[in-house]
Amino acid sequence: MKLTRLTLATALVAGAAFAEDIKPADVAFSDGAIETSLTGMPGDPARAPEIMDKGAGNCIACHEVTALNDIPFHGEVGPTLDGAGSRWSEGELRGIVANAKMTFEGSMMPAFYKTDGFNRPGDAYTGKAAEGELAPLLTAQQVEDVVAFLMTLKDE
């Protein structure tokens, strides 16, 4: 195949960022868990608080997390995430964050790494129909960052 200079450049840039990412449609669950990193690399727990606050994850809308107590207003819809790293393995947590419905049937928790099978998907929060392909709520990297953080939430 002959690549023009431009497409080659694009391929290289994209390759650097995404070459290793497993796409949402290609994720393999076993008993709700995803055993391998979606990026092929460990996540950075330091980036998680922002994602879990008003970032793309918004986890504390529904969950209480003592370690994030400097962020106000934690929700009560789901259980506290304290001790999640003791209750679950890394693969199980990755599975819960990517698609909690694979672990908890009919869960209210949104699937953060899934792009199809939705009813009337919208274009973000505009109320209009989505155009083209949906992006997952979290990128592969963000999922890994959140999982790495959850693993630090150990029982005392």
Partner 1 sequence: MKKGMATRTLTWVALASVAFAAPALADEDAELVVNGEIEMVTKTAAPAHLADSVDEILSGWRFRSDETQVLQLDDFDNPGMVFVDQAMDRWNTVEGSEGKSCASCHEDVETSMKGVRATYPKWNDPAEEVRTLVMQINDCRENRMGAEKLKYTSGDMVSMEALISLQSRGMPVDVAIDGPAQSAWEEGKELYYTRFGQLDLSCANCHEDNFGNMIRADHLSQGQINGFPVYRLKNTKLNTAHDRFKGCIRDTRAETFNPGSKEFVALELYVASRGNGLSVEAPSVRN
Binding site for partner 1 (CB under 8 A): 54-56, 58, 60-62, 72-77, 108, 110-111, 118-130, 134-135, 137-139, 142
Out of 112, 136, 140, 145, the residue judged to bind ligand HEC by CB under 6 A: 112
Nearer Cβ to ligand HEC, position 14 or 135? 135
Out of 29, 50, 74, 87, the residue judged to bind ligand HEC by CB under 6 A: 87
Which of partner 1, ligand HEC, none does residue 128 bind to, with CB < 5 to 8 Å depending on kind? partner 1
Q: Which residues contact 109 (CB under 8 A, 6 or more apart)?
A: 62, 78, 96, 100, 101
Nearer Cβ to partner 1, position 67 or 134? 134
Q: Which residue bears the tokens 């076993």?
A: 30
Q: Which residues contact 94 (CB under 8 A, 6 or more apart)?
A: 33, 34, 35, 37, 38, 143, 144, 147
103 Cα distance to chain centroid: 15
Smallest distance, partner 1 to C-beta of residue 55, A: 6
Among 25, 49, 17, which Cα is nearest to 117's? Answer: 25
Q: Which residue bears the tokens 């934690």?
A: 74
Smallest distance, ligand HEC to C-beta of residue 87, A: 5
155 binds ligand HEC (CB under 6 A): no
Dihedral in degrees, nearest 10, Cα atoms 25, 26, 30, 35: -120
Nearer Cβ to partner 1, position 8 or 135? 135
